[in-house]
Structure 1
Amino acid sequence: MNHQTSRKLAAGRLVVASHNAGKVREIAALLGPAGIDPVSAGTLGLPEPEETGTSFIANAELKARLAADLSGLPALADDSGLCVDALGGDPGIFSARWAGAEKDFGYAMRLVHEHLVELGPDTPRDAHFVCALSVAWPDGHIESFEGRVDGVLVWPPRGEHGFGYDPFFQPNGHAETFGEMDPDAKHAISHRADAFVRLKAALL
């Protein structure tokens, strides 16, 4: 988190440094009301950098800086993942990599589930999603924010909504998984929404 004075994000074009259509859609829904016009890195033909950071914020900053440098526009990047308590926080920053080159999250969910089964029937299934958001400007100024939501993992996964590990994750206090929830209901409580509340308070 930066302690310098926050810079306000002006209305207009903002690069969303992601090639994940689901993520771009969610970010556009969260930013639309502020007069921001999000355009995805994929649409602009920007490359996806190697995520070499050791934290969610480090990876988000790396993606935001590259997109701002290449586009000459402010850029917003998100790095998020599923952290499973019994697995020492894995898959964590490697959440997308667990899905393999094919980005097969059905496979990734099965892998997490199998690891938990190996630990025994009484293994707690507590987990949380983390989302780090970084906004970078072409002059190098950058600001980062982090949000989280806690819940439990369910098996088998349930629901067709959302993306990634959503059908596998039931937030605390709710009977539905993120995969079963209406997108608006998910936006109200998700890790991304939590990080956005912090971002909006500082930048908008």
Structure 2
Amino acid sequence: MSAPDVVFVTGNANKLKEVKMILASESSKINLINEPLDLEEIQDVDLQSIALAKCKQASKLLGPGRPVFVEDTALCFDSFNGLPGAYIKWFVKSMGLAGIVQMLSGFENKGAEAITTLTYTDGEGHFHTFQGVTHGTIVTSRGPTDFGWDSIFQPDESHGQTYAEMDKAAKNAISHRGRAFAEFKAFIATEFK
């Protein structure tokens, strides 16, 4: 029996590449397909609500019976009580990385949490949510700037490197996305035996 198709909805090529790397060990259990659907994102501070709404929308667009998952990533500043959170993508687009670093210049605490929330549906109306969190510090940009805010986030566990400076395998081992997908991989192992 061939592996079932599971659709990952994202238009972000870097995110797709990273997820394929993280899920490589599960390639015998699922056939990962990408659909770059343009989904509406509800405005909310509850990351699970955002991911669930996106997954429901994707499932409706793709049709019944198709397993699908979406993920949403947030960057939450300790000094801002969790903001910008899910809005980080728009902050990066409108302010740039230097502007985001500057936002924290008046605060002693530069701590932040990177959070990925992944929601999966089996296509039969059952939804499952997985979340990964990595704590770190917002720093002046170091390393390549081609993947979101990776160059300004220095995880506590990275030995002083930003995500952008890290080897991809090392990053995936401690990243918010890697942790969320570790939970998803454990679920896949039981779901698709």
- TM-score tier by shorter-chain length is 0.7 to 0.9
Alpha-carbon distance between aligned partners in 1 of 2:86 and 2:179, rounded to the nearest angstrom: 18
Q: Is the Cα contact below 8 Å between 2:76 and 2:113 reproduced in 1?
A: yes
Match of 1:49 among 33, 37, 40: 40
Cα drift, residue 164 of structure 1: 0.9
What does residue 139 of structure 1 align with?
A: 124
What does residue 114 of structure 1 align with?
A: 102
Q: Please, what is the CA RMSD of the aligned residues?
A: 1.9
**TM-score, with length taken from structure 1:** 0.82
Cα drift, residue 58 of structure 1: 1.2
Q: Is the Cα contact below 8 Å between 1:154 and 1:169 reproduced in 2?
A: yes
Note if 1:24 corresponds to 2:13.
no
The one-character-per-residue Cα deviations of 1:9-48 (angstroms, maximum 9, x if unpaired) are: x933221121111111111112232122222221xxx332
**TM-score, with length taken from structure 2:** 0.86
Alpha-carbon distance between aligned partners in 1 of 2:90 and 2:6, rounded to the nearest angstrom: 27
Cα drift, residue 161 of structure 1: 6.7
Residue aligned with 1:15, SS: strand
What does residue 34 of structure 2 align with?
A: 40
Q: Is the Cα contact below 8 Å between 1:161 and 1:182 reproduced in 2?
A: no
Aligned partner letter, 1:33: S
Map 1:67-82 to 2 at 5 A.
Answer: 67-72=58-63, 73-82=66-75
Identify if the C-alpha distance between structure 1 residues 171 and 162 changes in structure 2 by more than 3 Å, giving closer, same or farther. farther
What does residue 125 of structure 1 align with?
A: 110
Aligned partner letter, 2:38: P
Alpha-carbon distance between aligned partners in 2 of 1:50 and 1:78, rounded to the nearest angstrom: 11
What does residue 143 of structure 2 align with?
A: 159
Map 1:5-16 to 2 at 5 A.
Answer: 11-16=3-8
Q: Is the Cα contact below 8 Å between 2:92 and 2:149 reproduced in 1?
A: no
Aligned partner letter, 1:190: S
Cα drift, residue 128 of structure 1: 1.3
Residue aligned with 1:159, SS: coil
What does residue 83 of structure 1 align with?
A: 76
Cα drift, residue 135 of structure 1: 0.3
Alpha-carbon distance between aligned partners in 1 of 2:186 and 2:165, rounded to the nearest angstrom: 29
Aligned partner letter, 2:112: A
Alpha-carbon distance between aligned partners in 2 of 1:90 and 1:65, rounded to the nearest angstrom: 25
Q: What is the count of residue pairs matched by the alignment? A: 183
Alpha-carbon distance between aligned partners in 2 of 1:192 and 1:11, rounded to the nearest angstrom: 23
The percent of aligned pairs where both chains have the same amino acid is: 31
Note if 1:182 corresponds to 2:175.
no
Identify if the C-alpha distance between structure 1 residues 53 and 140 changes in structure 2 by more than 3 Å, giving closer, same or farther. farther
Q: Is the Cα contact below 8 Å between 1:80 and 1:132 reproduced in 2?
A: yes
